A and B are shown apart, each in its own frame.
Chain A
């Protein structure tokens, strides 16, 4: 039984100690209500222990009712203590939640207030009736948020530029129908009447059933960016324009250079041609000078021998041939010298028809040997030409010989005379292969020839002779159809 007393005493002392600790540590307060209940609990527990101790020691039995009451109260006091603590915890949690919520709201407001634009929540109606607008509204639109809220002085739709209003509505409705976010760029008019470009991003807020509750989004001022973009575009356009101008200038310069280059090249070619011409002229002129006297001597002696052996029928025809060939050479030499203005030309009125006959006679043998027919076409024309006879015959003969050589066998070479406003035209047509473009450019070039056994002097020589008679020469050629040379001499008035 002593043990029971000891346990009771331990209980009393332990509860007493707890009570002292509670009083001592009261400043480091527990939750006040729970603290009081704990104090009461400890006190009542101690009283209960005292009652038990006294009951055991038999000192008094008057405390039995007190013991019964306290015994019944103890579990309830524990319950109250636990309950009050739980309430305190819940209240604390609630306060903390409220505090967190308020802090979050404060952060949200600070964030929204510092955003370079305005955050909104509005209804999906034509007025875009605003349920919430952040403080950024003031800077963006110049209006107070209250002015734009539902029932305010102005609706947001009124701020949108009238030309953009319908497009904004349609784009939003289109995106809402597909339940996807939308991005818009449009213009608004601020309270001061200034026009601003804005960028908006928004999204529809839908209920669980899928019904549209509101629109939420953000609107930012992009006027500066827009202006910068436009300035950039302008600069870009200007730059492009300048580049185009410069390109055109460069192209023009290039064309000029190209033209100048071609001119220089042509001039260079002409110079080369002229130089070659001059050399050839000098050579032929020298040859003509050197051979004229011997040929004259041969002609003179041939005539003398012909007279001496006039009765010799065997030798006489040979002398005729020598004389004929000598005359040909003399005529050629005379032509060369006249072309080089080294011999005096004797201008006189000449009958084109007679000239044509004479030329045909001179080339008849060559045509026969080449199996080519010569056909003359003489028109009725009264005009004579004023020219040096020898030069005209030599020039036309050279052209005709060329035509005979170019003509295929059994074909015709046509010689024709016609008249054109102050000019008498001799034309020589063959039915050869024609002249290709490359050859055409060099046809009057001295020493140039497409034939193997040719000096390349015939046509340049003929051209020089014709030009010395104040005439000119041109040609017309068709591939596989032939070539026609036209020689123009001034008609006598």
Chain B
């Protein structure tokens, strides 16, 4: 069953994705930008599967949603660790 907040979250996420694509050059200057952008894209992916969950394979997509969220959190933690504890590059 589709929920309204999941649709809103998806639309907002797609909007942010467009923003990241348009400002790719600026965002690439983020330290370890691939990791933080991956964290966002995986989160966006979990939003997609959350919506799909309402139509079919709800159990599978639900699992993917939570797995995506977990991956996103791990990427975020790795990025924070890399940027705030390991890296000595200017930020």
Chain B binding surface, main DSSP class:
helix
Is A71 within 8 A of B16, CB to CB? no
Is A42 within 8 A of B9, CB to CB? no
Is B19 within 8 A of A49, CB to CB? no
Question: Which of A12, A22, A83, A85 meets B80, CB within 8 Å?
Answer: A22
Question: Which of B26, B70, B77, B81 meets A8, CB within 8 Å?
Answer: B70
Is A74 within 8 A of B80, CB to CB? no
Which residues on the B side are within 8 Å of A67 (C-beta)?
5
Nearest-Cβ distance from residue B74 to partner chain A, whole angstroms = 5
Name which of A24, A75, A89 has the most chain B CB atoms within 10 A of its CB: A75
Is B84 located at the chain interface by the 8 A CB criterion?
yes
Nearest-Cβ distance from residue A37 to partner chain B, whole angstroms = 12
Give me 6 other A-B pairs in contact (C-beta within 8 A), A38-B80, A86-B23 excluded. A11-B69, A30-B83, A30-B84, A72-B9, A74-B9, A79-B15
Which residues on the A side are within 8 Å of B69 (C-beta)?
7-8, 11, 48-49, 52
Is B67 within 8 A of A42, CB to CB? no
Interchain CA distance A301-B6 in the complex, whole Å: 186
Q: Which B17-51 residues have a C-beta within 8 angstroms of A?
A: 19-20, 23, 26-27, 29-30, 40, 43-44, 47
Is B27 within 8 A of A74, CB to CB? no
Is A71 within 8 A of B83, CB to CB? no
Interchain CA distance A428-B77 in the complex, whole Å: 148
Question: Which of A3, A31, A45, A68 meets B63, CB within 8 Å?
Answer: A3
Interchain CA distance A83-B15 in the complex, whole Å: 13
Name which of B13, B26, B44, B67 has the most chain A CB atoms within 10 A of its CB: B26
Interchain CA distance A221-B62 in the complex, whole Å: 85
Q: A71-B5, A75-B16 are in contact. Are A52 and B66 (CB under 8 A)?
A: yes
Is A11 within 8 A of B15, CB to CB? no
Is B9 within 8 A of A10, CB to CB? no
Is A310 located at the chain interface by the 8 A CB criterion?
no
Can you give 25 contacting A-B residue pairs, CB < 8 Å? A3-B67, A8-B66, A10-B70, A11-B66, A11-B70, A15-B77, A17-B80, A18-B73, A18-B76, A18-B81, A21-B85, A22-B80, A22-B84, A24-B84, A25-B80, A28-B91, A45-B72, A45-B76, A67-B5, A75-B13, A78-B13, A78-B40, A78-B43, A82-B19, A89-B26
Is A49 within 8 A of B5, CB to CB? no
Is B91 within 8 A of A30, CB to CB? yes
Please list the residues of chain B having a beta carbon within 8 angstroms of any beta carbon in chain A: 3, 5-6, 8-9, 12-13, 15-16, 19-20, 23, 26-27, 29-30, 40, 43-44, 47, 62-63, 66-67, 69-70, 72-74, 76-77, 79-81, 83-85, 91
Which residues on the B side are within 8 Å of A89 (C-beta)?
26, 29
Is A28 within 8 A of B9, CB to CB? no
Which residues on the B side are within 8 Å of A4 (C-beta)?
62-63, 66
Nearest-Cβ distance from residue B29 to partner chain A, whole angstroms = 6
Contact flags (1/0) for A240-282 with B, using CB distance below 8 Å? 0000000000000000000000000000000000000000000
Of all chain A residues, the one with the shortest Cβ separation from B88 is A28
Is B8 within 8 A of A72, CB to CB? yes
Which residues on the A side are within 8 Å of B16 (C-beta)?
75-76, 78-79, 82
Interchain CA distance A11-B75 in the complex, whole Å: 10
Is A213 located at the chain interface by the 8 A CB criterion?
no
Which residues on the B side are within 8 Å of A15 (C-beta)?
73, 76-77
Is A90 located at the chain interface by the 8 A CB criterion?
yes
Which residues on the A side are within 8 Å of B62 (C-beta)?
4
Interchain CA distance A21-B85 in the complex, whole Å: 7
Q: A8-B70, A86-B23 are in contact. Are A75 and B63 (CB under 8 A)?
A: no
Q: Which A57-75 residues have a C-beta within 8 angstroms of B?
A: 67-68, 71-72, 74-75
User: Which 4 pairs between the two chains have the least Cβ-Cβ distance?
Assistant: A25-B84, A14-B73, A75-B12, A7-B66
Q: A71-B6, A79-B15 are in contact. Are A42 and B80 (CB under 8 A)?
A: yes
Of all chain A residues, the one with the shortest Cβ separation from B79 is A18
Name which of A48, A76, A85 has the most chain B CB atoms within 10 A of its CB: A85
Interchain CA distance A76-B85 in the complex, whole Å: 27
Q: A8-B70, A11-B70, A72-B5 are in contact. Are A85 and B84 (CB under 8 A)?
A: no
Nearest-Cβ distance from residue B13 to partner chain A, whole angstroms = 4
Question: Which of B44, B47, B91 meets A31, CB within 8 Å?
Answer: B91
Nearest-Cβ distance from residue A28 to partner chain B, whole angstroms = 6
Interchain CA distance A387-B53 in the complex, whole Å: 172
Interchain CA distance A24-B80 in the complex, whole Å: 10
Interchain CA distance A8-B67 in the complex, whole Å: 8
Question: Which of A3, A11, A21, A72 meets B73, CB within 8 Å?
Answer: A11
